[in-house]
Amino acid sequence: MKIHMILTSTIALASLVIALPAMAQSTAPKKIEKIGLLVQDMSNPFFSAMDKGAQKAAAEIGASVNTQDAQLDLATQNNQIDTFIQQGVNLIVVSAVNEVGLEPAIQRAKEAGIIVIAVDTPAKGADAVVMTNAVQAGERSCEYLFTQMGGKGEVLLVDGTPIQTIIDRIQGCRNVAAKFPDIKIVGQQASKNDRASGLAVTTDMLTANPDVTGIFGMNDPSALGAVLAVEQAGKSSQIKVTGVDGSPEAVAELKRAGSPFIGTATQNPGGMVQEAIRIAQGMAAGKAPTERTVLIESVLVTRDNVGQYPGW
């Protein structure tokens, strides 16, 4: 599989899933000069990659970027939107902590003539959303996991915060599990999307389910936390782990000899933001977006093809 070709083509050929009716914004900016980027948690490398993508895209059009970290707090993210309104940004790109909870703040931004594009997960009221095909990511990661388990055995799901993209990944995994009658999901607990909480919840679930042979982490940090739990339990040869993200840490883990970590389904965080800025440029030029939701394909990276993967 030529992963680089697939990833680069998915931005240009992103899927149309919901038609967006034309939106009138009488005070819409004529040019994108100031961009506000809101991320959920900058300690996650996924959001650092978003920042890099934003900086690159902004430099190409002569715009500035102000990136703010909500640290997974809805009130903080609401306040950050209000600050961006006061600063007079032209575009807000947001990875929402809560899909519905940000709607009033997003509406205030739009009333101020600011374009709002959601990335990674939907945000109610946004002009458009650019995100990974999260159901597909969960399906591809778990199909590989279950196949490598020989199509049978007990599995744990390391869940995360209840945002749509994470819900979709778990659903994708369960979609695939339904096709494997000898796969049994015996535990599911929510992490805080990071390695430390992934370690904690996996340790708890392994104690209650000692015969587990597979673990799906809904993102790479939680999956790598699960890897630590597996190794601390002395079960590296018994249990296989997969994740979602295609992060630099996951790539390094795939290359580490003896690791229980065997695969990750990719996301393209920098590409999401770049596509969001492209959509906003079109809106500033008077061209309403023709797509409400743009889905980016998720590609499976394993030990066999990790050398071909361009990464973030």
Question: What's the burial of 224, exposed, middle or buried (CB within 10 Å: 0-12/13-18/19+)?
Answer: buried
Range of the domain at 179: 134-266
Q: What is the rounded CA–CA span in Å between residue 149 and residue 253?
A: 19
CA pair distance 201, 34, nearest whole angstrom: 41
CA distances from 245 to 25, 61, 112, 297 (A): 35, 28, 34, 12
pLDDT of residue 13: 37
Residue keyed to tokens 């990974």: 132
Same domain, 144 and 47: no
172 with 202, same domain?
yes
Same domain? For 60 and 183 the reply is: no
Same domain, residue pair 15 and 96: yes
Residue 306 lies in a domain: no
Q: Which residues of 1-23 are buried (b: 16+ CB within 10 A; e: fewer)?
A: eebeeebeebbeebeeeeeeeee
Q: Do 253 and 161 lie in a common domain? A: yes
Which residues 6+ apart lie within 8 Å of 310 measured at CB? Answer: 3, 4, 7
Contacts of 32 by beta carbon, 8 Å cutoff, 6+ apart? 61, 63, 90, 91, 115, 277, 280, 281, 284
pLDDT at 288: 87
State the pLDDT at residue 239. Answer: 98
In terms of domains, do 90 and 185 share one? no
Q: What tokens appear for 60 in the block?
A: 């190409």
Distance between CA atoms of 51 and 65, rounded to whole angstroms?
9
Adjacent-strand bridge partners of 259: none
Query: Is residue 307 a part of any domain in this protein?
Result: no
301 bridge partner residues? 264
Segments of the chain with pLDDT less than 70 = 1-27
pLDDT (0 to 100) of residue 5: 42
Q: Is the domain of 152 the same as that of 81?
A: no
Examine residue 311 and state whether it is found in any structural domain, yes or no. Answer: no
The verdict on 22 and 82 lying in the same domain is: yes
Which amino acid, residue 290? T
Q: Tell which of 228, 248, 266 closes a domain.
A: 266
For residue 226, being part of any structural domain is answered with: yes
- Helices marked H in the chain: 3-12, 45-61, 74-87, 103-111, 134-148, 164-177, 195-208, 220-232, 248-254, 269-284
- What pLDDT, on the 0 to 100 scale, is given for residue 290? 84
13 touches 291 (CB < 8 A)? no
Shared domain for 116 and 161, answered yes or no, is no
What is the pairing mode between strands 240-245 and 212-217? parallel
**Would you say residue 191 lies in a domain?**
yes
Residue 162 CA, chain-centre distance (Å), reads: 13
Q: What domain count does the chain have? A: 2
Give the tokens for residue 144.
Answer: 């590989």
Using the CB atoms, write b or e for 143-177: b if 16+ within 10 Å.
Answer: bbbbeebeeebbbbbbbbbebbbbbbbbebbbebb
Q: Classify residue 284: in a domain, yes or no.
A: yes
Q: What CATH number is associated with residue 165?
A: 3.40.50.2300
Q: Are residues 222 and 289 in the same domain?
A: no
> What pLDDT, on a 0 to 100 scale, did the predictor assign at position 12?
43
Q: Based on the domain organization, do 108 and 147 belong to the same domain?
A: no
Residues 36 and 56 in one domain: yes
